[in-house]
Amino acid sequence: MVEEFAKADVPVRGANDNFSIKMIGNLLLRFGTDAQKDHFLPRIISGEYRWCQGFSETSAGSDLANIKTTARLEGDDWVINGQKIWTSEAVTANWIFVLARTNPDTPPHRGISMLLVPLHQPGIEIRPITMITGAREFNEVFFTDARTSADNVVLGVDQGWKAAMALLGLERGDEAATNPILFRAEVDRLIALVRERGLAGDEIVRDRVARAYTKVEIMRFLGARILTGWLRGDPPAWKLRCPNCIGASITSGSPTWR
């Protein structure tokens, strides 16, 4: 689907699609319960449910296991208290997947759960963060006795660390597999432009186009290996770095790309 969209130059991502389709959608497709799949996946695909990510906290820094947001089970609901920061696209989302501490008596990374929480409720406040450029993409999200159904936990209670690592792997793996398709469409347009302007015989132009084509083909085959690994249940781990490094050199316009 991504390949056909790229060939037709169709926009493939809305503001929340990265979190909705690529991340939580794929995670639920692989690890969700039947009830979660039946409820959430059709609404994610239709765009009715738009997601953001609630991981980072002011006191945790880069130590994700040090989160302070808590969730306690009260009847049929999880009751959530705490704060998240740097939450992208929260103002356009209506659901958030949240890492919260559900067991304070275990080692930090073992007492975390991933909860699926509706954003539009009295116990949640969203405060946009104004950047120096004036942009307000990032937000703080405050939870004060916010609630979600007891069934809205991914991979089970206290399995949030495993869910988070799987989700981040899906994000990187998707980029490694789909970015080469988008870059290949750009190279195809570049080749068409070179021919249109009568530059196909220019040795310098041919050399640069050949370098671009070669890099994208390397990315494409590496991406295919990563996707095949996912389908076989083999997490990509270090393999993700190779196509992403090549992709970074392309998007930054580095001398190796030119």
Tokens at residue 202, please?
């220019």
Average pLDDT of the residues in 20-34: 89
Q: Is 171 a catalytic residue?
A: yes
Given a cut of 70, whether residue 59 has pLDDT beyond it is: yes
Domain boundary among 157, 181, 199: 157
- Report angle CA 49, 78, 138 to the nearest 5 degrees: 50
pLDDT range class, residue 183, cuts 50, 70, 90: confident
Q: Quick one: 47 and 153 in the same domain?
A: yes
Given a cut of 80, whether residue 66 has pLDDT beyond it is: yes
Closest-CA residue to 164 (of 34, 7, 31, 1)? 31
Given a cut of 60, whether residue 238 has pLDDT beyond it is: no
Given a cut of 70, whether residue 248 has pLDDT beyond it is: no
Q: Quick one: 176 and 100 in the same domain?
A: no
Helix axes 160-196, 203-231, angle to 10 degrees: 150
Q: Quick one: 144 and 180 in the same domain?
A: no
* 142 within a domain of the structure (yes/no): yes
**Active-site pick, 171, 175, 203, 217:** 171
Tokens at residue 119, please?
């954003």
Average pLDDT of the residues in 164-187: 74
Who wins on pLDDT, 197 or 13?
A: 197
pTM: 0.73
Domain boundary among 142, 157, 172: 157
Q: What is the pLDDT of residue 87?
A: 95
Q: What is the pLDDT of residue 242?
A: 63
Who wins on pLDDT, 102 or 233?
A: 102
User: How many domains are there within the chain?
Assistant: 2
Q: Quick one: 90 and 188 in the same domain?
A: no
Q: Quick one: 65 and 149 in the same domain?
A: yes
**Domain containing residue 100:** 17-157
Q: Quick one: 209 and 234 in the same domain?
A: yes
pLDDT range class, residue 126, cuts 50, 70, 90: very high
Tokens at residue 77, please?
């609901």
Q: What is the pLDDT of residue 254?
A: 46
The rounded percent of the chain whose pLDDT value lies above 70 is 79
Given a cut of 80, whether residue 244 has pLDDT beyond it is: no
From 19-28, 102-111, 158-167, 180-189, the region with the lowest mean pLDDT = 180-189
Phi-psi region of 106 (alpha: psi -120 to 50; beta: other; left: phi over 0): beta
